[in-house]
C-alpha cells in the first residue's frame, strides 16, 4: 500500500517528538558510564561512576524502596475498601467524598508538604522519621489507587454477582473477599504499579519533608545534580532509570485495564 | 440487605477518612489560617497582587504554563491522531517511547534539559559544530519551557489517543465524499470530536506546569516561578504566612483549572487521565 506524502510528514514529526523525549535519556545514560563526558566517548567507558554512586547513595535507594512498599501496603489497606464503598454509593455525599479524596492530584505537592510541616513539624520524632515522608506519599498516591479500582468496579455489574452470592448465603465480608477483591485484581494491579512508580519518583513533597537522615532517591538525585560532577549525576540517574524501568514496562502492559474492559462491556 | 450494610460500608471507609482528616484536611485548614496569621492578616492573600515580585512571579508562571499547554496540546494532537489512525511497523515502540517519561520526577527532567541545553549539552555541541557560536539555554525561561514541555507531552498524548480511538472514521469519509477538503475535515469533524479530550488534557498540563517544583528546582536558579517563590519564602526568608498564602493561591488556581475543564469537558474524559 502506498502512503501519502502527508503520512511521511506526520511520521517525521512524530519521530522528532520521540527523539526529543528519548535522546536526552540516552545522553544521560551514556554520560553515566563515560570516563570524562566533556572529552566525550573517546575517553573510554567505565562503571566507576556507578560504583561511586552506590557507595555515596545506596541508603537513599533502600529508603525509597522501603517507603514505596509501605506506601503500597497503606494504599491496599485503606484505598481498596474506600473504592468499593464509592462504587456502591451513588449519592451526593459519596461524590463529595470522592472529590475530596482525589484533591491531592489537583493541589501541588509543595502546598501539601507545607501544610504537613506547619501542622506536624513540631512533633520531633515524627518529623525526623521516614514515616513523615510516607504520609505525604500515601496522600499523593491514594487517588491513583482509588481511581484504578473504581474504574474496574464500574465496568462490570458487581451488584448482581453480590446479590447472587448473598442469596446463596454469603455474608458481607465473604462477598468482599471472594467476589469484589478477585474481580478487582486488574485494577488493584494497575493501581499498585502506579503507586510504587509514583512513590519511588516523588520529589515535590519529599524535598520539603525529608531530613538529612531521611533522603530518598529523588532527593539524592537533586543533591548530586547540585553538588557533584556531571558524570556522577548521570550515573545516579542511570541507576534510577534501571530501577523504574521494570515498573514502567509493567505499567505499559497492565496499566490500563479500564480501556480493555470498557471496549468489551461498555460501548459508551 | 441494603440498610443492614451501612455500618459495614462506613467501617470500610473509616481508615481512609481518618487518614485524610488528620493528614490532609486538617493540615490544609491550618495552612489557610497560617496564610492569614502574618502581620497583614488575611489580606496577605491579596499580597500576590500588591507585591510586585509575587505578582511578576504569578504572571510569568501562568504565561509559561499556558504556552507549554498550547504547545503540548498541538504537538500531542498531531502525533496522537497520527499514531491512532495509522498502522505501521514500529508503531507500538513509538507509543511506548512517547509515554515512557510519564513517571519521571521533575528533577530528572530538569537534568535531562541540562543534557540537552546545558554547557556540555547536545544543543551547544551541534551549534558549535555548525555555526561556531555557543547555545546554552538550560537555565533560562527557554530551558524551563523545554522541561515543562517534556513532562507535558506524555500526559496529554495519552488522553488524546484514548479519545482519537473513539473517533468514527465513517464521519470523515462522509465529509470527504461530500467534497470537504483535508483541512475542512480536520476543522469540522476531527477537532470538534476531540474537543473534550483537548480541554481535559490541556487542563492537566496547565495544572502540572503551574505546580511543577522539581524541574524548576533544577533549572530556575535565577527565575521566579511561583513554586520557587514559595520555596524561597519558606526556607530562606522563613516567611511562613506569605509562603502559606501563596501556596493556597497556587493550589486554588490548579484546582480551578481542573474543575473548570471537567465541567466543560465532562468527567469521563478527565477520569481517563
Check: CB of residue B227 under 8 Å from CB of residue B249. no
Task: Express each pLDDT in A78-116 by its tens digit.
Answer: 999 999 999 988 888 888 999 899 899 889 999 999 999
Buried b (16+ CB within 10 A) or exposed e, A167-199: eeebebeebbeebbeebbebbbbbbbbbbbbbb
Q: pTM for the complete prediction? A: 0.89
Check: CB of residue B208 under 8 Å from CB of residue B155. yes
Q: Taking the domains of chain B in order of start, what are their residue ranges?
A: 53-272
pLDDT value at A38 more than 80: no
CATH of domain B53-272: 1.10.3720.10
The cell numbers describing A152, all together, are 474496574
Q: Taking the domains of chain A in order of start, what are their residue ranges?
A: 58-265
Angle, alpha carbons A119-A121-A126 (nearest 5°): 110
Q: What pLDDT sits at residue A260? A: 38
Chain B interface disruption, residue of A10, A23, A37, A118, most B CBs within 10 A:
A118
Chain B contact for A254, CB < 8 A? no
Taking only the tens of pLDDT, chain B with its 273 residues reads: 455 788 889 999 999 999 999 999 999 999 999 988 888 888 888 878 888 889 999 999 999 999 999 999 999 999 999 999 888 999 989 998 898 888 899 999 999 999 999 888 889 888 988 988 888 898 899 999 999 999 999 989 988 998 988 888 888 889 889 988 888 888 888 899 899 999 999 999 999 999 999 999 999 878 889 999 999 999 888 888 999 999 999 999 999 999 999 888 875 444 333
Distance of CA B65 to the CA centre of its chain: 7
- Predicted interface score ipTM higher than 0.90: no
Whole-number Cα distances in Å, B120 to A28, A31, B136? 11, 11, 9
pLDDT band at A264 (very low <50, low <70, confident <90, very high): very low
* Residue B258 CB coordination number (10 Å): 23
- Which candidate, A109, A179, A167, places its Cα nearest to that of A138? A109
Q: Which residues of B touch A244 (CB under 8 A)?
A: 103
Phi, psi of B162 (to 5 degrees): -60, -35
Chain A contact for B259, CB < 8 A? yes
Q: How far apart are CA A140 and CA A146, in angstroms?
A: 11
Residue listed under C-alpha cell 461524590: A95
Check: CB of residue A215 under 8 Å from CB of residue A67. no
The cell numbers describing A79, all together, are 484505598
Q: How far apart are CA A28 and CA A22, in angstroms?
A: 10
Angle, alpha carbons A46-A50-A55 (nearest 5°): 130
Contact A118 B12 (CB under 8 A): no
Check: CB of residue A257 under 8 Å from CB of residue A190. yes
Counting DSSP H helices and E strands in chain A, the numbers are 16, 0
Q: What is the CA radius of gyration of chain B?
A: 23
The cell numbers describing A38, all together, are 566533556
Q: What pLDDT sits at residue B267? A: 56
Whole-number Cα distances in Å, B97 to A74, A193, B94? 31, 18, 5
Q: How far apart are CA A258 and CA B56, in angstroms?
A: 42
Residue listed under C-alpha cell 530501577: A243
- Which candidate, B142, B118, B108, B120, places its Cα nearest to that of B215? B108
Classify A65 as helix, strand or coil.
helix
CB-based contacts of A178: which residues, under 8 Å, 6+ apart?
A165, A170
Report the chain B residue with the minimal C-alpha distance to residue A38.
Answer: B120
Contact B12 A82 (CB under 8 A): yes
> How far is A184 from chain B, CA to nearest CA, in Å?
16
pLDDT value at A9 more than 90: yes
Q: How far apart are CA A217 and CA A56, in angstroms?
A: 11
CB-based contacts of A59: which residues, under 8 Å, 6+ apart?
A215
Residue listed under C-alpha cell 464503598: A85
Chain B contact for A155, CB < 8 A? no
Q: Where do the H-state alpha helices sit in chain B?
A: 6-20, 26-35, 47-50, 52-85, 91-99, 106-117, 122-130, 141-165, 169-177, 182-185, 191-211, 214-219, 226-231, 240-265, 267-272
pLDDT value at A268 more than 60: no
Q: How far apart are CA B16 and CA A85, in angstroms?
A: 11
pLDDT band at A261 (very low <50, low <70, confident <90, very high): very low
A residues 166-225 lying closer than 8 A (beta carbon) to B: 166, 172-173, 176, 197-198, 201-204, 207, 218, 221-222, 225
Whole-number Cα distances in Å, A84 to A89, A140, B235? 9, 19, 41
Q: What pLDDT sits at residue B269? A: 45
Check: CB of residue A171 under 8 Å from CB of residue A105. no
Q: How far apart are CA B173 and CA A258, in angstroms?
A: 29
Counting DSSP H helices and E strands in chain B, the numbers are 15, 0
Overall fold of domain A58-265: MetI-like fold (1.10.3720)
Contact A108 B210 (CB under 8 A): yes
Chain A contact for B254, CB < 8 A? yes
Q: What is the CA radius of gyration of chain A?
A: 23
Amino acid at each position: 500500500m502506498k502512503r501519502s506524502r502527508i503520512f511521511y510528514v506526520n511520521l517525521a514529526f512524530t519521530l522528532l517528538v520521540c527523539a526529543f523525549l528519548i535522546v536526552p535519556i540516552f545522553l544521560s545514560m551514556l554520560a553515566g558510564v563515560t570516563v570524562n563526558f566533556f572529552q566525550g566517548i573517546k575517553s573510554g567507558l567505565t562503571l566507576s561512576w556507578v560504583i561511586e554512586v552506590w557507595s555515596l547513595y545506596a541508603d537513599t535507594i533502600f529508603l525509597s524502596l522501603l517507603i514505596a512498599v509501605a506506601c503500597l501496603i497503606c494504599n491496599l489497606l485503606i484505598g481498596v475498601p474506600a473504592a468499593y464503598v464509592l462504587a456502591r454509593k451513588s449519592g451526593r455525599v459519596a461524590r463529595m467524598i470522592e472529590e475530596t479524596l482525589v484533591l491531592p492530584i489537583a493541589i501541588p505537592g509543595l502546598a501539601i508538604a507545607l501544610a504537613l510541616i506547619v501542622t506536624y513539624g513540631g512533633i520531633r520524632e515524627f518529623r525526623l522519621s521516614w514515616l513523615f515522608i510516607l504520609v505525604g506519599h500515601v496522600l499523593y498516591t491514594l487517588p491513583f489507587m482509588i481511581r484504578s479500582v473504581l474504574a474496574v468496579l464500574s465496568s462490570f455489574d458487581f451488584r448482581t454477582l453480590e446479590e447472587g452470592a448473598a442469596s446463596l448465603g454469603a455474608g458481607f465480608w465473604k462477598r468482599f473477599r471472594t467476589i469484589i477483591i478477585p474481580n478487582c485484581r486488574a485494577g488493584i494491579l494497575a493501581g499498585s504499579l502506579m503507586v510504587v512508580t509514583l512513590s519511588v519518583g516523588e520529589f515535590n513533597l519529599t524535598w520539603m519533608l525529608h531530613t538529612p537522615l531521611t533522603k530518598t532517591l529523588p532527593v539524592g538525585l537533586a543533591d548530586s545534580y547540585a553538588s557533584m560532577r556531571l558524570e556522577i549525576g548521570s550515573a545516579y540517574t542511570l541507576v534510577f532509570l534501571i530501577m523504574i524501568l521494570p515498573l514502567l514496562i509493567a505499567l505499559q502492559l497492565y496499566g490500563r485495564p479500564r480501556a480493555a474492559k470498557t471496549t468489551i462491556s461498555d460501548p459508551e | 440487605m441494603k440498610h443492614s450494610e451501612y455500618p459495614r460500608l462506613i467501617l470500610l471507609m473509616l481508615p481512609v477518612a481518618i487518614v485524610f482528616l488528620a493528614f490532609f484536611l486538617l493540615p490544609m485548614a491550618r495552612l489557610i489560617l497560617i496564610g492569614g496569621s502574618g502581620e497583614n492578616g488575611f489580606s496577605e492573600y491579596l499580597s500576590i497582587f500588591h507585591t510586585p515580585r509575587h505578582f511578576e512571579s504569578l504572571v510569568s508562571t501562568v504565561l509559561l504554563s499556558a504556552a507549554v499547554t498550547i504547545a503540548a496540546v498541538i504537538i500531542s494532537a498531531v502525533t496522537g491522531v497520527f499514531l491512532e489512525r495509522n498502522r505501521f511497523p514500529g508503531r507500538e515502540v513509538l507509543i511506548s517511547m512517547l509515554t515512557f517519561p510519564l513517571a519521571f520526577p521533575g528533577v530528572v527532567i530538569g537534568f535531562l534539559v541540562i543534557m540537552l541545553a546545558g554547557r556540555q549539552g547536545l544543543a551547544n555541541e551541534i551549534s558549535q559544530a555548525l555555526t561556531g557560536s555557543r547555545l546554552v539555554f538550560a537555565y533560562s525561561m527557554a530551558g524551563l519551557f523545554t522541561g515543562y514541555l517534556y513532562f507535558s507531552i506524555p500526559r496529554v498524548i495519552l488522553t488524546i489517543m484514548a479519545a482519537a480511538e473513539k473517533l468514527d472514521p465513517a464521519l470523515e469519509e462522509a465529509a470527504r465524499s461530500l467534497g470537504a477538503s483535508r483541512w475542512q475535515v480536520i476543522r469540522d469533524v476531527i477537532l470538534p470530536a476531540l474537543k473534550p479530550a483537548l480541554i481535559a488534557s490541556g487542563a492537566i498540563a496547565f495544572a502540572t506546569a503551574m505546580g511543577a517544583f522539581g524541574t524548576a528546582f533544577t533549572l530556575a536558579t535565577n527565575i521566579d516561578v511561583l513554586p520557587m517563590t514559595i520555596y524561597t519564602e519558606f526556607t530562606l526568608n522563613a516567611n511562613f504566612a506569605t509562603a502559606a498564602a501563596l501556596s493556597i493561591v497556587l493550589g486554588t488556581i490548579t484546582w480551578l483549572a481542573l474543575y473548570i475543564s471537567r465541567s466543560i469537558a465532562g468527567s469521563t474524559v478527565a477520569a481517563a487521565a
